[in-house]
Chain A
Amino acid sequence: MGRDGAQPAPLRTHRMDVVRYWGEAVALVAADHPEHARRAAQAVRVEYEVLKPLSDPEEALSDDAPRLHPDGNITRRIKIRRGDQDPHADVVVKGEYEVGMQDQAPLGPESGLAIPDGEGGVDLYIATQWLHVDRDQLAECLGLPPEKVRLTMAGIGGAFGAREDLSMQAHACMLALRCGRPVKMAYSRSESFVGHVHRHPARMRYEHGATRDGKLMYVRARILLDGGAYASSSTAVISNACCFAVGPYECANAAIDGWVVYTNNPPCGAMRGFGSVQNCYAHEAQMDKLAEALGMDPVDVRIRNALETGSSLITGQVIDGPVPVAELLRRVKAMPQPAAAASAHLDLTQMPGGVSNTTHGEAVRRGVGYAVGFKNVGYSEGFNDYSTARVKLSVAGGRPRVEVHTAGAEVGQGLVTVQAQIAGTELGVHDVAVLNADTQVGSSGSSSASRQTYITGGAVKAACEAVRERVLALAVSELSGLGRADSDADESGWRLEHDAIVAADGSTVITLATLLGEEVIEETREFRPRRTARLDAETGQANAHMQFAFAAHRAVVDVDTELGLVKVVELATAQDVGKAINPQAVEGQLEGGAAQGLGLAVMEEIQVKDGVIRNPSFTDYLLPTTLDMPPVRMDILELGDPNAPYGLKGVGEPPTISSGPAIVSAIRSASGRPVNRVPVRPHDLLGV
């Protein structure tokens, strides 16, 4: 299979001043076969003046460090100061914690198809989390007006934050516009590992003070996130990491100092849990330490300090709506625990080490651990959060039909189904079509921050309400024209149901097919949640968030204490979802989110040395398999948030926040080792 002589076309010399990380794009090659493209890419000569990489975030903070960007190395600094800065405490516990770099590893690598329109514009079919922000960035990159760049959602293989930033979008468009031909571009897995941002690695130093009876008196924390070579969403991630640094606990006195810095490491940005995952490992380890220091039960010490409705966060924001932190903890604690492994019959799949036959029960100790976490739903700190929905009601084939059109990105979370459910419910129509998302309708914002069911769901609801209003008005005018309105019951009791207008007594007033005939009713609405405000630069005080979501986990693990191998036996969780619009999909979020939490706790880490990723493949970046992920026992609460459409809460992220910390807590309890770093590696449990 040697090369058959095909020579790549000579390449234009491309001049770039600085490459800041391993994997940064420097040249583009398109060909009629991937092998030709690979050989051509190999022929590209790049001259690098190799500098010593700045790969330690601690070093990046120092004044002596080289400045990687004109403004220096600090991408954002957060300071939160609340209450007494020199408070007394009977008991003090301290700890240092480290979180490794996790990859979202969506199963579908980045890919897209760019088609030049022959008039200087381009159509891009793309798997993304936010069509409109991609469009705006692309228009700027390509020097085109936004209307010349049209994006259509293509099939998506998961996202989890990895598709928030541009990957190959601009490259495919540049090549297509340059060649005047459609260009398809797809990353290989190893390219995907360097082609999107990752979860920020974190180093955290904590000090908790409490009274003898377990009341938190103060928390001091220093949080350092490695943002890698470019900013991505680092400024928002560090904000979350600091806002929720204490966890869902009342704490009148706090001093939180956070930095996210530039290094020459791979860029980091959004991943499910968004800053709250890292700090949860720290604050929950601290709560366990506090319980031990006080001789209290670890769940009791958490309940003792749990946030409630009306509590103030360390940012001064008073939380309204249900805040069931104590209730979630009580529920996970009360759930039955799995039986100890049956000793009569050896089932290797249930053992630490699994089918690799490393133990038949030798040195296996069981541990139980708890954790609770929370984060914001939707955008924060004054970011303009809204979504747009267009809803069209018409009659097709003698039956009413609803079309819902939004730009909301279905990434596997079930947004398409939710939109159809909402439209079907609001308009009482069986035949609902959700059109493919594209930029021909207004922005829906991103599929992130657990926000789409809330925000785009809210927009669909609002557009449906507007359509319904017009339908009912039409019915009143049509029927009064027929002289029927007077004789009928009070029209204020009319509703849309079963493809018809139905009176309060359940009788059909008129079918929608009859009423509408040829008429088409179309409405477009934007939905906006409550406004938020930016954190104060000196004190970090603000009403920065519009909704909060909470979950608690209990983990039961078996640890082979001689080999340091772990089997997670069971996860149990309780979560308030406000209102489960699609209960099966909600369960899927709780189970799948917990699996990603498990991954970070015990196996997933992008290993970086001198800025180079050492394991960019599924052979060496391990994801949980069927034999790693245990059953998840679930208790789903629907407490109803009075501020949200249908009372719902964002669901997707909380399962990824506290699942891992609960597992690590259980590992500590089983092994007796401190375990201050995730993912937990076998040698960490042995001290060898």
Chain B
Amino acid sequence: MKVTFTVNGQRVSADEVWEGESLLYILRERLGLYGSKNACEQGECGSCSVYVDGTLVCACLVLGGQAQGRDIVTVEGIADGHALHPVQQAFVEAGAVQCGFCTPGLIVAAHDLLRHTPEPTTVEIREALAGNICRCTGYAKILDAVHLAAERMAST
């Protein structure tokens, strides 16, 4: 089947999509958007977090056909061209990245949190990111990064 949708502002189509394919598979294997990661395929790790019509979801749990006509934003669409988004910059500076596999999903999830809650408490950050597993950092530097991004976004 053919699936057509918007990703990061661009209209895209994927042909000969197998009906059982997830949005994540289409993004990675058919559109070459490797930012969203495949780590569990059951919504338990958050590594494939993307926006579908502005809502934060796990791309692995969206059936490809369900993306038809939708507006998708992936981690590749968070930055403004080559300039990192403040959330991304904060992750780099705070040391919130070790192996980096969870990072794209966390960037999107943290971005979503700060859209709704510009000045989150540590507890609010913990709750909002509870669906994003990180195996390397123990999360402390990730919490630091979100606070840092919030501060910077508030002051601009």
Contact = CB atoms under 8 A, between A and B. Distances in A.
Main secondary structure of the interface of B (DSSP, over half): loop
Nearest to A634: B140
Interface in B15-33: 18-20, 25
A188 B41 CA distance: 8
B66 interface: no
Contacts of B95: 584-585, 587-588
Given A35-B20, A349-B123, A618 B45 contact: yes
Main secondary structure of the interface of A (DSSP, over half): loop
Nearest to A410: B99
A595 B138 contact: yes
B130 A625 contact: yes
Interface string B122-156: 01011101111111111111110000000000000
B42 A618 contact: yes
A2 to B, nearest CB: 9
Interface residues of B, number: 38
B102 interface: yes
A35 B127 CA distance: 36
Residue among A106, A592, A594 facing the most chain B CB atoms (10 A cut-off): A592
A350 B102 CA distance: 25
Contacts of A632: 138, 140
Contacts of A105: 135
B44 A108 contact: no
A15 B2 CA distance: 42
A422 to B, nearest CB: 19
A619 interface: yes
A627 B127 contact: yes
B69 interface: no
Interface residues of A, number: 46
A157 B99 contact: yes
A350 B122 CA distance: 12
A631 B140 contact: yes
A592 B133 contact: no
A626 B125 contact: yes
A344 to B, nearest CB: 15
Contacts of A183: none
A1 interface: yes
Given A188-B41, A591-B138, A617-B40, A414 B98 contact: yes
A108 B133 contact: no
A618 B133 contact: yes
Interface of A: 1, 33-35, 105-109, 155-160, 186, 188-189, 347, 349-350, 355, 411-414, 584-585, 587-588, 591-596, 617-619, 623, 625-627, 629, 631-632
Complex A-B, nearest 8 residue pairs according to Cβ-Cβ distance, in ascending order: A412-B99, A157-B101, A591-B138, A1-B19, A595-B138, A618-B44, A412-B98, A584-B95
